């Protein structure tokens, strides 16, 4: 458990570096597959920073953010699940895109474009946010911080 903050910090820095590199280096930025990789990094950032930082803060300081705010309690689960699934799905799309590009048939290679990659990423994000919307609506495992002391 003592290495968890270092691990989470390294993963956060790595995801930010991925976004920065793939957005700013123009030869890499032209490929439609890059949009899926950037989306994977964004989803992973959401997953790591909403899910694990709450645990790290509780371990290091003893402050449990989940018991202090009903809003944070509900939004934390929603963004953690949505971000994790979105990241995984965009990673799968990146692999599929790479397979399509490597096929010998030109028709399959032209199937994925930057516009389609943007559309797929946005729709995937919306779908996962909608799939997990019952979490903030129905999740009620919240105790006021005055009761937990």
Structure confidence by residue, pLDDT tens digits, 3-47? 777 878 888 899 999 999 999 988 888 888 999 999 999 999 999
Range of weakest confidence among 34-43, 62-71, 110-119, 129-138: 62-71
Place of tokens 């609506």: 137
Residue ranges covered by each domain of the chain: 4-138
Q: Confirm or reject CATH 3.40.50.1470 for domain 4-138, answering yes or no.
A: no
Mean pLDDT over 49-72 rounds to 82
Mean pLDDT over 39-59 rounds to 87
Mean pLDDT over 58-74 rounds to 82
The C-alpha angle with vertex 24 and arms to 21 and 27, in degrees rounded to 5, equals: 90
Mean pLDDT over 67-77 rounds to 84
The structure's pTM equals 0.82
Mean pLDDT over 85-108 rounds to 93
Mean pLDDT over 132-147 rounds to 72
Distance CA 31, CA 42 (A): 18
**pLDDT value of residue 9:** 83
């Amino acid at each position: 458990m003592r290495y968890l903050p270092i691990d989470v910090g390294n993963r956060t820095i790595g995801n930010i570096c991925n976004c920065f590199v793939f957005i700013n280096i123009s030869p890499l930025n032209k490929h439609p597959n890059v949009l899926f990789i950037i989306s994977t990094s964004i989803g992973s950032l959401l997953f790591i920073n909403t899910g694990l930082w709450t645990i790290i803060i509780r371990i290091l300081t003893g402050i449990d953010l989940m018991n202090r705010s009903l809003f944070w309690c509900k939004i934390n689960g929603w963004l953690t699940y949505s971000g994790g699934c979105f990241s995984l799905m965009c990673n799968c799309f990146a692999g599929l895109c790479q397979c399509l590009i490597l096929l010998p048939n030109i028709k399959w290679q032209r199937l994925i474009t930057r516009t389609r990659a943007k559309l797929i990423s946005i729709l995937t994000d919306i779908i996962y946010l909608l799939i997990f919307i019952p979490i903030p609506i129905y999740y009620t495992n919240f105790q006021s911080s005055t009761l937990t002391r």
